[in-house]
Structure 1
């Protein structure tokens, strides 16, 4: 897992062949003007934009998730978003087995730690990172870049 601000995005270009494409999009786009929906920006890179009310810790832990096929770059555009995190290797309570079509698996374990993002901050979740996003009050506008691993 990585937590940082968009001003440092160039530092991560070398971590994956499509990170440069993803971060260049994030730094060039008018993020506040983006409407809810899915945007395909390149082969293996898509953006999901949403603006929704924050959720309680309890409700987000029902979908304590991880992915096998994609790396998530989750960027807070507006609002204040808290997320839970735990290493996948330490998660033992499977709620639903891996869904290959939707690329997720859910656990009911409790996060080891919580952290918060505000506008312009992002987190990168790799397949070994189980995460519970969207914890907060009020509207949270965010963007998730799905970067296909292969």
Structure 2
């Protein structure tokens, strides 16, 4: 897992061939004005834009998840988002089987730590990062951009 600000995003562009393209997308667009939806940017790279109320910790933990085929770059555009995290190697209680069609595995485990993302901050989740995003106040909207980067 990597947490940083968009100001420093270019430092991570070399970590995956599609990271530079994802960060360029952020740089060339007015993030506050992007409409909700999913866009295929290129082969192996899509972006999901949402503007939703935060979830309770309990609701978010129902989908404590990780992925095997994609890296997530999650960007907070507006609001404050709390995210739970735990390394996959420490998760002992899978919730069902891995779903290859949706590229998701859920867990019943509790996060080891919680952190906050504020506007213009991002986190990169690799397959070994189990995460519970979108924890926030139900009366506060969180505008978020998630890139799905194919491994």
Q: If the length of structure 1 is used for normalisation, what is the TM-score?
A: 0.98
Q: How many Å apart are 1:96 and its aligned residue?
A: 2.0
Q: Please give the alpha-carbon distance, in whole angstroms, between the structure 2 residues aligned to 1:142 and 1:47.
A: 10
| Aligned twin of 2:64 | 64
| Aligned twin of 1:85 | 85
| Aligned twin of 2:40 | 40
2:133 is aligned with 1:148: no
| Aligned twin of 1:101 | 101
Flag as ranges the 4+ runs of structure 1 deviating above 6 A. Answer: none
User: Deviations for 1:3-50, whole angstroms, at most 9, x for unmatched residues?
Assistant: 001110110011001110011111211111111100111111100001
Q: Which runs of 5+ in 2 are unaligned?
A: none
| Aligned twin of 1:17 | 17
Q: Please give the alpha-carbon distance, in whole angstroms, between the structure 1 residues aligned to 2:96 and 2:60.
A: 15
Q: If the length of structure 2 is used for normalisation, what is the TM-score?
A: 0.97
More divergent stretch after superposition (91-100 vs 127-136): 91-100
Count the aligned residue pairs.
149
Pairs within 5 Å for 1:110-125? 110-125=110-125
User: Deviations for 1:83-132, whole angstroms, at most 9, x for unmatched residues?
Assistant: 00000010011112110000000001000000001110000000000000
Q: Which runs of 5+ in 1 are unaligned?
A: none
